[in-house]
């Protein structure tokens, strides 16, 4: 009897999937297209040769989940991987590693580690070219998408219907536009880069809407004053420079300023494009929780030191990167927020992804996923 009822339900569900359970069985997003930098690169930079930073291709990168280095700048999955999982989609294939017969209809990842929102020309002119990891800026990633588009959909009607159920992530990108002047120690340049970087993110978001995107998530920057890299490079003897979490106030201020300008510009973009749903992802708020109360999120080894790196006050040393000989990794990355000095651990990324997908760190909220992560 039980089996009979199950069979009836199963065949009913099979024949009339839309009618039986329109929302619970069909995920709201059928595809994800991602643009960005190392926060979401799932292999493009490594595939392109990773000449300026080959260490990400070495162990212990990837050790926690994939058991080998995949080109992701972490010990395991990134936020984009958790978001794809939540919507029942496969991990996004990196654009530069697509094979001839690969299914691209569930999404593609255009992000490249080290990428900037502004074109490389801007940094070359500012004398910062030696710091650039890659020249595959946001505009180049957009061109890749435009070239691929005819393989995704053809007629306007076809594209409208397909992109209506596609999620576009525009970033996080813009973080490196600030990082490169910081690497060079030029704070004047850092501050001068904020506005043009925000404008570049907005222009790309607008271009994607013109291409047919309707659901867009645009992330802001992290609290970079709590980043291992900044804490090491800008270590200060002056207690006043730090907040109660041990983060550098000035650098958190630069990130907050970037986010404020981005939010204002997104509001204008929403008014101009009522046909699109433009969401803001609050990486700053989501990550700040870890620094205020690390143990509450399982980060029992503290939030400021890197799990993997060279000798230094925060387990980071720019002459011995994680993955280079002489570096050391902690036994269990899930008790750390920071993975390699610049990037976060899988555990931290999972927690932020939960805060985006399940709320409250995306506004307006992402569509409800079939699986809570
Ligand atoms: C820092 O950047 C500013 C603005 O681009 C530039 O005028 C200045 O020469 C730079 N300073 C150094 C030390 O490179
Ligand atoms: C970084 O490592 C080098 C040796 O490779 C060492 O001389 C230097 O003191 C270290 N830096 C810090 C900040 O500890
Ligand atoms: C790592 O730490 C997490 C959180 O404390 C724990 O759940 C997990 O079992 C640990 N893994 C190993 C391999 O020790």
Active site (annotated) includes residue 292: no
Q: Of 48, 74, 137, 343, which residue is the catalytic one?
A: 343
Residue 336 Cα to ligand 3 midpoint, Å, equals 11
- The low-confidence residues of the chain, meaning pLDDT below 70, are 1-25
- Ligand 2 atom nearest the C-alpha of 317 is 1
Output the pLDDT for position 138: 98
Output the pLDDT for position 372: 73
Output the CA–CA distances (angstroms, integers) from residue 96 to 41, 104, 110, 111, 176, in the order listed: 11, 12, 8, 10, 21
Give me 131's structure tokens.
Answer: 């710091």
Output the pLDDT for position 25: 59
In whole angstroms, what is the distance from residue 317 CA to residue 308 CA?
10
- Ligand 2 atom nearest the C-alpha of 235 is 13
Q: Which residues pair with 362 in a beta bridge?
A: 281
Give me 205's structure tokens.
Answer: 């978001």
Active site (annotated) includes residue 343: yes
Q: Of 37, 81, 301, 340, which residue is the catalytic one?
A: 340
Output the pLDDT for position 302: 84
**pLDDT tens-digit map of 24-73:** 557 899 999 999 999 999 999 999 999 999 999 999 999 999 999 999 99
Residue 350 Cα to ligand 2 midpoint, Å, equals 32
63 Cβ below 6 A of ligand 3: no
**pLDDT tens-digit map of 315-337:** 999 999 999 999 999 999 999 99
Output the pLDDT for position 205: 98
In whole angstroms, what is the distance from residue 127 CA to residue 187 CA?
14
* 2-225+248-288 CATH: 3.40.50
Best residue for ligand 1 mutational test, from 186, 190, 194, 196 (most atoms within 8 Å of Cβ): 186
How does DSSP classify residue 328? E
Triad 269, 179, 109: Cα angle to 5°: 60
Supply the residue whose CA is at minimum distance from atom 10 of ligand 3.
332
Domain boundaries, the chain: 2-225+248-288
Active site (annotated) includes residue 68: no
In whole angstroms, what is the distance from residue 285 CA to residue 290 CA?
10
The three-state secondary structure class of 179 is helix
- Ligand 2 atom nearest the C-alpha of 326 is 5
Half-sphere exposure of 64 (CA within 13 A, CB side): 25
Give me 167's structure tokens.
Answer: 């999620």
Instruction: Share the mean pLDDT of the chain.
Output: 93
CB 178 within 8 A of CB 197: yes
In whole angstroms, what is the distance from residue 28 CA to residue 368 CA?
7
Supply the residue whose CA is at minimum distance from atom 13 of ligand 2.
312
One DSSP character per residue, 64-80 reads TTTSS--S-SSSS--HH
Supply the residue whose CA is at minimum distance from atom 14 of ligand 3.
332
């Amino acid at each position: 009897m039980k089996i009979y009822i199950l069979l009836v339900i199963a065949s009913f569900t099979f024949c009339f999937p839309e009618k039986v359970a329109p929302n619970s069985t069909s995920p709201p997003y059928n595809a994800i297209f991602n643009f960005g930098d190392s926060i979401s690169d799932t292999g493009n930079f490594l595939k392109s040769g990773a000449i300026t930073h080959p260490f990400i291709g070495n162990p212990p990168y990837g050790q926690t989940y994939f058991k080998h280095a995949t080109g992701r700048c972490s010990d395991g999955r990134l936020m984009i991987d958790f978001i794809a999982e939540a919507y029942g989609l496969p991990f996004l294939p990196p654009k530069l590693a697509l094979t001839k017969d690969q299914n691209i209809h569930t999404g593609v990842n255009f992000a490249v580690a080290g990428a900037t929102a502004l074109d490389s020309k801007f940094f070359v002119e500012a004398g910062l070219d030696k710091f650039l990891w890659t020249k595959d800026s946001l505009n180049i990633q957009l061109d890749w998408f435009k070239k691929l588009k005819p393989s995704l959909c053809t007629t306007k009607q076809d594209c409208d219907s397909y992109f209506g159920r596609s999620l576009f992530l525009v970033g996080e990108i813009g973080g490196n536009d600030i990082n490169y002047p910081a690497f060079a120690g030029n704070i004047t340049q850092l501050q001068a880069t904020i506005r043009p970087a925000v404008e570049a993110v907005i222009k790309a978001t607008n271009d994607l809407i013109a291409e047919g995107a309707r659901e867009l998530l645009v992330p802001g920057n992290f609290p970079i004053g709590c980043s291992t890299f900044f804490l090491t490079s800008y270590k200060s003897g002056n207690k006043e420079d730090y907040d109660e979490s041990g983060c550098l106030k000035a650098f958190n201020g630069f990130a907050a300023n970037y986010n404020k300008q981005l939010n204002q510009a997104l509001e204008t973009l929403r008014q101009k494009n009522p046909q699109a749903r433009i969401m803001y992802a609050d990486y700053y708020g989501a990550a700040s929780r870890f620094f205020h109360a690390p143990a509450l999120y399982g980060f029992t080894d503290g939030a400021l030191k890197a799990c993997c790196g060279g000798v230094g006050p925060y387990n980071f040393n720019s002459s011995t990167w994680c993955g280079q000989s002489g570096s050391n990794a902690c036994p269990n990355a899930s008790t750390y927020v920071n993975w390699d000095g610049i990037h976060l651990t899988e555990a931290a990324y999972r927690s932020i992804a939960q805060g985006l997908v399940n709320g409250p760190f995306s506004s307006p909220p992402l569509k409800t996923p079939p699986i809570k992560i």
